[in-house]
Amino acid sequence: MGILEIDNVSLTIEDKKILDGLSLDLWEGHVHAVVGPNGAGKSTLAFTIMGLEGYRDIDGDIRYNGESITPLAVDERARRGITLAWQEPARYEGLSVASFIRAGAADADSDDIAEALEQVGLAPDEYMGRAVDDTLSGGERKKLELASILAMRPRLVMLDEPDSGIDVASLEKIFEGIDLLRSYGATVVLITHSMTVMQQAEHGFLLCGGQLVDKGRMETLLPYFEQECIPCGHKNVPDGGSDDGDE
């Protein structure tokens, strides 16, 4: 069953069309990947679904559980169970890990927070009182952000470049967290150009130039990342580079 429908969505920023008549459906309880070369519009799509400032003036419609959320601000979308994990998680000087998690999951008690931290491989006794600041490594901040999402129990989760800036051990914990989200019935969207990450998904959408080039099971899309993208001729660079053209 579809939980989110993107219906002929276009977005222009500073006279440049970033999304161009894009239509796709996300299935409830599945892990999807949105893939494509740098500048394809992947992160822009996530920001548009989330309703971030500067990404709401669209043509077309976005429907969530059959309801148009196009007019809704980001906080209203969040209240409906939609959340986004950033490629570069924020730092909050003076805010403790426990307070950070509780900010997104108001009903979470200390046991819930401890459980979420353990699920991503962070020892509660060591991390509950730590500040969410520069003393945390990139991998720790990624895992902390995932812990906050696990505590929230959202219905639709978008992870933007979940492998960015972390080591292999941390990435494995991220993958375990994705499996947990799936077990909770959440729909997960992986924004990526990494072959390692996209293999965690069941179904994918290949974007290029803000348009949908292909879709299907991941094994049908992986060949695009082993050679030139046949329909559009753009060369992707998996597992590296930045996505600056996406913003």
- The pLDDT confidence band at residue 98, using thresholds 50, 70 and 90, is very high
Position 186 in a domain: yes
Minimum mean pLDDT among 3-12, 201-210, 237-246: which range?
237-246
On whether residue 149 sits in a domain, the answer given is no
Between CA 185 and CA 83, with CA 88 as vertex, the angle to 5 degrees is 30
CATH number at residue 66: 3.40.50.300
- Residue 226: what pLDDT? 66
Residue 116 placed within a domain: no
CA separation, residue 75 to residues 69, 82, 84, 178, 227 (Å): 11, 9, 12, 23, 41
Residue 207 lies in a domain: yes
When pLDDT is averaged across residues 222-229 and rounded to a whole number, the result is 67
pLDDT value for 124: 94
User: Range of 169's domain?
Assistant: 2-89+155-246
- Residue at 119 is within a domain: no
Whether 141 maps to a domain, the answer reads no
Q: Is residue 130 one of the residues assigned to a domain?
A: no
In a domain, 16, yes or no: yes
How many independent structural domains does the chain possess?
Answer: 1
29: its two tokens: 């309880």
pLDDT tens column, 142-197: 888 899 999 999 999 999 988 887 788 888 888 999 999 999 999 999 998 888 89
